[in-house]
Structure 1
Amino acid sequence: MAEPLKAIYNEAFLTAFAERVRRQWAAFDADRFCESVLGDGWESLELKGRIRRIARSLGAALPAEYPAALAILEEIADECRGFPYLFFPEFVACYGLNDWDRSIRALERFTALSSAEFAVRPFIRRDPERMMAQMRKWAGHPDEHVRRLASEGCRPRLPWAEALPEFRRDPEPIIPILDRLKADPSAYVRKSVANNLNDISKDHPQRVLELAKMWYGRNERTDSVLRHGLRSLIRRAAHPEALALFGLSPDAGLSVEVETWDARPRELAIGGSVAVRYAVRHRGEEAAKLRLELAVDYPRAGGRSFRKLFKLAERTVEGGGRLAGERRHAFADLSTRRHLPGVHKLALLVNGREAAAVDVILSREGTEA
């Protein structure tokens, strides 16, 4: 079973980091810092809780004056790159809200070393107009990491992040940033723009469709952003306008006959995989563009479930034509998705409509069938 992501913050990591700080600032009490981090309740903390604990423990062990403490972190920042060092921008969010200019410069630097998407949100909540003006400036920054921050940091539904209910009610402050970045040369940035659009579409589908109609067909990069950004409207809602934008008719699914939809084995252990086989025939007379997707319903505690979709194929099929293939789907635990034993529904979607389904059963021990 995959180790949870939060496990990166172990005693060895913390000790090595504390020594790095102590080399920069001799008065740093490395033992006190580690004891504070690993104290009561540490084992029960999830990833974000651990990041916050480390940032707070740094605040207690570094100089009391924020500028002096931040300067120490800035001196060692180039040695602290990658996901584990998300507690650098978290430190800024915890202690720097009243030192705006210094904190903004620090976030701009730290985001290129790890990511500051979570840390900018308290600044947005504190002063939305001022912070969004800053993020519009960041949208024109030469560093792709900073440009991505401009989009990612203001996503209305950013996972694991502090909520921004004002942007769920009214996303208009976000639109100029997305407009500027919609054809960005960096795929890293464009993916964030698409995810932001997808967030907005869940509360304001018509606004996103308006933008899509204005932007589509002018730039290949933007078209790709829109295809990904409208995925919830296409997949979950089978929204006719969204489908039509990409040449997908919801009615085409009605003329499709499912010849094969199967998954083997039907019983397996968590960590295993199934082979999914599909074949459909288009019974209409005219050619139609078909998008086939695998929808997996993952059970959750309390009897709920979560559906995730995986693209199988997208192709124009002539009248009477056939579309078939096979893919493997893994049920391995990930840092972002843990599997529970039980029935998992695997459905075939044709242009957003469910056309067939089979169940597979996951167990902790597993029985291959």
Structure 2
Amino acid sequence: MTDIATANANANATSGYSLKDLIGESTLRALATTLAETAPGFQRKRFLAVATDGLEPLSIMQRVHRVAQALDAGLPGSFATKLDAVIAAAPRAGGAFMNMGLCDFVASYGQHDPVASLRALRQLTAHGTAEFAIRPFLREDLAGTLATMSDWTADADEHVRRLASEGCRPRLPWSFRLDALVADPAPVRELLHALRADDSLYVRRSVANHLNDITKDHPDWVYAHVAEWDLDDARSAWIVKHALRSRIKQGDARALKLIGASDGAQAVVEQLAITPSRVRLGGEVELAFSLRSTAQTAQRLVVDYAIHYVKKNGRASPKVFKLKTVELAPGASTEIRITRAMRDFTTRTHHAGTHAVEVLVNGQRLAQGSFELLRP
């Protein structure tokens, strides 16, 4: 499945399109047609009546849950019978978010039968991620659910292995926190260790995000855990670099050391240019500069930049973005250029005003400038 954040960004970038439109009347009718063909006794009218009642104002995740409610209303028989019908429909259900509705059916109505429910989520996750649906089972029985998920780390399907990591992230976006794992990440140690060199980038990205979650509460635990990994393995090294991205942006010496970056930054930023100096919402801002080493030896430098976004109350809040990692010989320099679009997203509304910009190298601010954002 496309990551939620990516799908959300795509929705924002597409004129007239909203993420919640992925579960609309037309797609619900298509699902009803599929169920009528695969589930004997399916009550199409009952399903659509529940699915479409008051649909318009509902968010995408509320619509996901509405699909689950409609499935329960429209499918005949016991939970086990309904579950078989849901699994059968999954390959033709009509996209990842609609399939998340199928997964939500399992979470909403299958708590009494965790063995069958977890088996179903393992099958369903290949069609639409079950990362949200598995969390109620973790909250109800952490040890038992994690035991099953640990077995999934050796599954041949990358979607199942990814679910093993993504589903138990302590701070998974768009879901509730798993307070027990926020307090103590020890129960997921062996699970994450098993995935430390997974061949799938899809899985490795999840492991990195999981570890990044943990750094917010237990950075020392993460450092101790990844210290046991073979960082000569490019797959493990990739996970560590992305897992520690927040710490790297802060210039944490331990994080910089793990990715092979220099401690500190012996360098200067020259000819910083932020253009245009005034930009309207919907336009772009370009950041360009030269980074020159002042060190006597070669160094590896992590280059980021921060934009201090103006908030509704007029104050500013910084957001750090990754740029690149560079290797510089003594006295050497490199040219760096990046363009950033200034348009509204569901996750950020831009406000007019002066936006400060900083160039960060190994977490140290080496240069700053600004631009003014104008709204229509």
TM-score past 0.5 threshold:
yes
Amino acid at match of 2:268: E
Aligned to 2:138: 124
Partner residue in 2 for 1:273: 284
Question: Aligned equivalents of 1:282 and 1:146: distance in 2?
Answer: 45
State yes or no: 1:226 paired with 2:240: yes
> Which residue of 1 is the match for residue 333 of structure 2?
322
2:114 is the alignment partner of 1:114: no
SS of equivalent to 1:98: coil
Q: How far apart are the structure 2 equivalents of 1:166 and 1:304?
A: 35
Of residues 151, 164, 172, the one that matches 1:158 is 172
**Residue of structure 2 in register with 1:87 after alignment:** 101
In the TM superposition, 1:1-369 aligns within 5 A as 2=14, 3-25=17-39, 27-40=41-54, 42-63=55-76, 65-80=78-93, 82-84=95-97, 85-235=99-249, 237-252=250-265, 255-299=266-310, 307-333=318-344, 337-343=347-353, 344-365=355-376
Q: Deviations over 1:34-81 (max 9, x none)?
A: 3323323x3332221221122122222222521121121122212126
CA distance in 1, matches of 2:315, 2:123: 41
Q: Is the 8 A contact 1:233 1:239 kept in 2?
A: yes
How far apart, in 1, do the equivalents of 2:143 and 2:367 lie? 49
Structure-1-length-normalised TM-score: 0.90
Q: Which moved more, 1:225-234 or 1:81-90?
A: 81-90
What is the rounded CA distance, in whole Å, between the counterparts of 1:229 and 1:356 in structure 2? 26
CA separation of 1:138 and 1:306: change in aligned 2, threshold 3 A = farther
Sequence identity (%): 36
Question: SS of 1:43's equivalent?
Answer: coil
Aligned 8 A contact 2:344 2:350 in 1: no
CA shift in 2, pair 1:38/1:359, >3 Å: farther
Q: Is the 8 A contact 1:349 1:355 kept in 2?
A: yes
Contact 2:291 2:336 in 1 (8 A): no
CA distance in structure 1 between the aligned counterparts of 2:110 and 2:66, rounded to whole angstroms: 16
1-structure distance, mates of 2:64, 2:223: 37
Q: Relative contact order: is structure 1 or structure 2 higher (C-alpha 8 Å, sep ≥ 6)?
A: 1
RMSD: 2.2
How many residues of Structure 1 are paired with residues of Structure 2 in the alignment? 360
2:362 alignment partner AA: N
Q: What is the rounded CA distance, in whole Å, between the counterparts of 1:230 and 1:203 in structure 2?
A: 13
* Equivalent AA in structure 1 for residue 351 of structure 2: P
**How many angstroms apart in 2 are the aligned matches of 1:151 and 1:99?**
22
TM-score (norm. length: structure 2):
0.88
State whether residues 311 and 351 of structure 2, in contact with CA within 8 Å, keep that contact through their aligned partners in structure 1: no
Task: Report the CA distance shift for 1:86/1:363 in structure 2 as closer, same or farther (over 3 A).
Answer: farther
Aligned-pair distance for 1:250? 4.2
Cα separation, 2, equivalents of 1:361 and 1:200: 36
Does the 8 Å CA contact 1:156/1:164 hold for their aligned counterparts?
Answer: yes
Letter in 2 for 1:60: A
Q: Is the 8 A contact 2:31 2:94 kept in 1?
A: no
Describe the SS at the equivalent of 2:264. helix
- The one-letter amino acid paired with 2:155 is H
Paired residues of 2:290 and 2:335 also in contact (CA < 8 A): yes
Structure 2 contact 30–94 (Cα < 8 Å) conserved: no
Residues 138 and 146 in structure 2, CA contact (< 8 A), matched pair in contact too: yes
Code of the aligned partner of 1:241: R
CA distance in 1, matches of 2:328, 2:213: 32
CA distance in 2, matches of 1:148, 1:275: 36
Q: In the superposition, relative to structure 1, how do residues 304 and 64 fare at CA in structure 2: closer, same or farther (>3 Å)?
A: farther
